[in-house]
Chain A
């Protein structure tokens, strides 16, 4: 009787670490996919959605900073490279970060890296040719999120906040082969 359970119990025991590891490996992909779906609902793929300041009533992703204005672009380079241009915003912190489908950061650029100029990135996969004149960012996955952060607090200076908001909205995310 007991002997008949030895094989099944060993098989079950082997499954425990395998399931543990598989769950951990799958979690970032699953949560990133959910985030891309949620963020992507705010606009088409390969274009920026410019969010309002985070509040208790506006929290597109977990642990948002209420001090930052976010703009997010769900990108997909399966059809060719994607151009992401983050407009430099003077006198405040700004950055553009590229996250792939596994949540790895493929690139981060801020005024510290660009010398104050706008960041112009070309996202591409192996086998694609990034357009000339852009900072090439090679990706290991087709899809991901480009995220712009701009420090701005509407409680302090509304006119400064509005100027920052206008400036960041000139940022763009588009396929390299688009007409624009």
Chain B
């Protein structure tokens, strides 16, 4: 084999391996895993010049146009509180207490971050609806599952997909949510049953 061909072969292989490894790293992770809190993970440097190249690439793929932490925190969960992967054929209850924030919302996504089609056209639940209903409980329970109940307030359909994630948005977060997200009081995710 000629010398130039050996160089070409090795250089191209190096480019493919390096580029492929980067793509795999970006695609195999979530929106951000700088901070872990139970089943939830988050980043603290979204949209800032401090973000690493890998963190920036992941946010661009999984949450393009995400806001900086001071404006909004994004917590993502792909497992329940026991560590089992979230399965759209199962029903879960997400229990927590109201957050120290301007408003918050829990949204269900599949894949890189796409809303899941469902018969009720419901994709989220959170403080927006609770406040507008002139009810602001200190605690909340949101059910997530494939079977849409007659009363859909506080329910998010999974559409029966095999895998999904939950993204908790907290706008204008205060206290530990912003300053110490690893210790912030976040909701539990408990599996109730599977179809």
* Chain A residues in the interface with B (C-beta under 8 A): 4-5, 7-9, 11-25, 27-28, 31-32, 35, 54-57, 59, 61-67, 93, 95, 97, 99, 102-105, 108, 110, 112, 145, 147, 151, 153, 155-157, 160
B contact residues around A31 at 8 Å (CB): 60-61, 64
Residues of A with C-beta under 8 A to B169? 65, 67
Instruction: Provide the B123-142 mask, 1 if CB < 8 A to any CB of A, else 0.
Output: 11010110011000000000
In the assembled complex, B67 has its CB within 8 A of some CB on chain A: yes
- A66 near B10 with CB under 8 A, answer no
Within 8 A of A (CB), among B49-89: 49, 53-54, 56-57, 59-68, 70-71
A residues less than 8 Å from B10 (CB atoms) = 5, 8-9, 11-12, 15
Interface size class of B (residues with CB under 8 A): 35 or more
Which residues on B are within 8 Å of A, measured CB to CB? 3, 6-7, 9-11, 13-19, 21-23, 25-26, 31, 46-49, 53-54, 56-57, 59-68, 70-71, 102-103, 105, 107, 109, 112-118, 121-124, 126, 128-129, 132-133, 167, 169, 171-172
In the bound complex, CA of A99 to CA of B25 (Å): 24
- Contact status B22-A19, CB under 8 Å: yes
Asked whether, in the complex, the Cβ of B49 is within 8 Å of the Cβ of A104, the reply is yes
- A153-B129, A156-B128 known; 7 new pairs, CB 8 Å cut-off, are A13-B14, A15-B15, A19-B22, A55-B115, A63-B113, A103-B47, A104-B49
Interfacial chain A residues near B113, Cβ < 8 Å: 62-63
CB distance from B15 to the nearest CB of A (A): 4
18 of the cross-chain contacts (CB-CB < 8 Å) are A8-B10, A15-B13, A15-B17, A24-B54, A28-B59, A35-B64, A56-B114, A56-B116, A56-B123, A62-B114, A65-B169, A66-B115, A99-B65, A104-B49, A153-B128, A153-B132, A155-B129, A156-B133
